[in-house]
Amino acid sequence: MAALFVLVFLVVPLVELYVLIQVGSAIGALNTIALLVVMGVVGGWLMKREGLGVVRRVQAQLQAGRVPATEVVDGFLILFGGALMLTPGFMSDALGLALLIPPVRALVRVGLARRLRARVVGRHGEGRHRRDDEGRGGAGYLDV
């Protein structure tokens, strides 16, 4: 866990700074700033568009009586992508923009589901476990 904090709070900002300096020396300081601003504007527009789309899909799923699990994960990925867009730097902007693109988000969602499933199944095993109060007329649920 400590290595993750070192990576996130020390290594990533240093690499972002290095990339900014390299891009700035290649295209100039004003062009670098302009490019960052344009990426921020495009990211903000994409975040708004994709976020509103997710809200509409969540409402449709709820009205249909279904759990909007995919849409909720998409919403979190859009939020994370937007937060990355607010972080100055080309790498974070590129990752944030990628998370705002639906096909990329779908790949990330599938990867996250696989990883979560492996962790849950790895810890608890597969299959359904029967509780003592199921199936024998025990403490069931009452419809009120």
106, 34 contact by CB (below 8 A): no
Q: What is the pLDDT of residue 144?
A: 60
CA distances from 39 to 46, 64, 83 (A): 10, 37, 13
Any residues with CB less than 8 A from the CB of 108 and at least 6 apart, and which?
Answer: 77, 99
Q: Please tell me the pTM assigned to this model.
A: 0.75
Residue 92 covered by a domain: yes
Separation between Cα atoms, residue 24 and residue 20, nearest integer Å: 6
Residue listed under structure tokens 């100039």: 28
Per-residue pLDDT of the chain (144 residues; tens, 9 = 90+): 888 888 888 888 899 999 999 999 999 999 999 999 999 899 889 999 999 999 999 999 999 999 999 999 999 999 999 989 888 899 999 999 999 999 999 999 999 999 988 888 766 655 555 555 555 555 555 566
Is 100 inside a domain boundary? yes
CA-nearest of 13, 32, 16, 14 to 24 is 32
In the chain, the number of structural domains is: 1
Residue 129 lies in a domain: no
Residue 134 maps to a domain: no
| Residue 139 domain flag | no
**Residue 141 falls within a domain, yes or no?**
no
| Residue 138 is assigned to a structural domain of this protein | no
For tokens 């990752």, name the residue.
Answer: 95
In which domain, by residue range, is 16 found?
12-122
In a domain, 64, yes or no: yes
